[in-house]
Amino acid sequence: TALPGAQEFLLLRRIRDAATSGRWERIIVDLSGTGDPFALLRAPTLLATAVERLWPRHRRLAEASEKPALAHLAAAVEAISRDCDDLRELLTDPTVVAAHLVLGAGERGRRQLPEHLAVAELMGLPLRSVLVNAGAGRLDPVPVVTAAEQLLPVDPGGAGPMVHTVAAADGELDRLARLRRLQVDLPKPDGQPYGSGALAVGRVSGEGLDSVFELSWQQSLPEPDRLELGRSGDDLLVTVSGFRHPIRLPSVLRRCRVSGADWDAGRLSIRFTPD
């Protein structure tokens, strides 16, 4: 039986190995050929969840110690689980990764923009730029650029994702060298976390067992009625526009119960009380 996300996990692990080999100055991963790039990037999370459900870590460690024949299998599964955690951490690390969203300049690009930005925030992908492609079809990029500038969070320090227009090139781009005509500059990682990667935790009221803690991050909601929240062990399950993604709870909240949630001014807040 094929585990969900296994093939995508192997691909991402190969990319990670290349990125950490020290051989390359920069690795660029083009996801335009995938049906759903967010599903590909979520593969390590899906695989880790499937492995944990089929053979929970506490069980495989206990059985490996009791049955030497299972020790090698348990070690292999443990290595896969560690690689999944490593990939999830790498993909959301703003010091080494920069994500760039490329959209067409037409109406389709404008419609896709809110959902793509919301999913990037939910996954904590370190978004550095939005590139509006005015070359395909030579459409007017202004509506998409304006919408992106309105939807992106405003950073008082001038940081945050930038919006650029990629103009149509003169002549055919039929050779790799001619891509230079586009003069596209992909901003490098800036170390600023994005979306759920910048979640904040704090006590908002009370003391001791009467304390109320709050977990919050910047989260846009293109379809507020489709927001869903759930809890599974140490994970907060968040669904935005039909895209479900687990958020690992900080240790201080793992032994707390959820007491409420709000969304206001583009920020999602979940409250917890001690159990």
Mean pLDDT, range 178-189, rounded to an integer: 83
Distances (CA, A) of 171 to 46, 164, 166, 178, 179: 43, 21, 15, 9, 11
**What pLDDT digit, counting tens, does each position of 28-80 carry?**
999 987 888 998 999 999 999 889 888 888 898 898 888 888 899 999 999 99
**What pLDDT digit, counting tens, does each position of 7-40 carry?**
999 999 999 999 999 999 999 999 987 888 998 9
Structure-token pair, residue 69 = 């024949």
Strand order in the sheet with 212-218: 200-205, 212-218, 267-274, 256-264
Residue 9's pLDDT is what? 93
Residue 171's pLDDT is what? 79
Residue 3's pLDDT is what? 81
**What pLDDT digit, counting tens, does each position of 120-156 carry?**
999 999 999 999 998 877 788 999 999 999 999 766 6
Residue 256's pLDDT is what? 93
Q: Average pLDDT of the chain?
A: 90
Q: What is the distance between the alpha carbons of residues 105 and 66, in angstroms, rounded to a whole number?
A: 61
Cross-strand bridge partners of residue 166: 133
Q: Give which of 233, 257, 202, 190 is closest to 57, Cα–Cα.
A: 233
Residue 136's pLDDT is what? 73
Contact between residue 245 and residue 42 where contact means Cβ atoms under 8 Å apart: yes
Q: What is the distance between the alpha carbons of residues 127 and 124, in angstroms, rounded to a whole number?
A: 8
Distances (CA, A) of 93 to 88, 123, 194: 9, 11, 9
Residue 91's pLDDT is what? 94
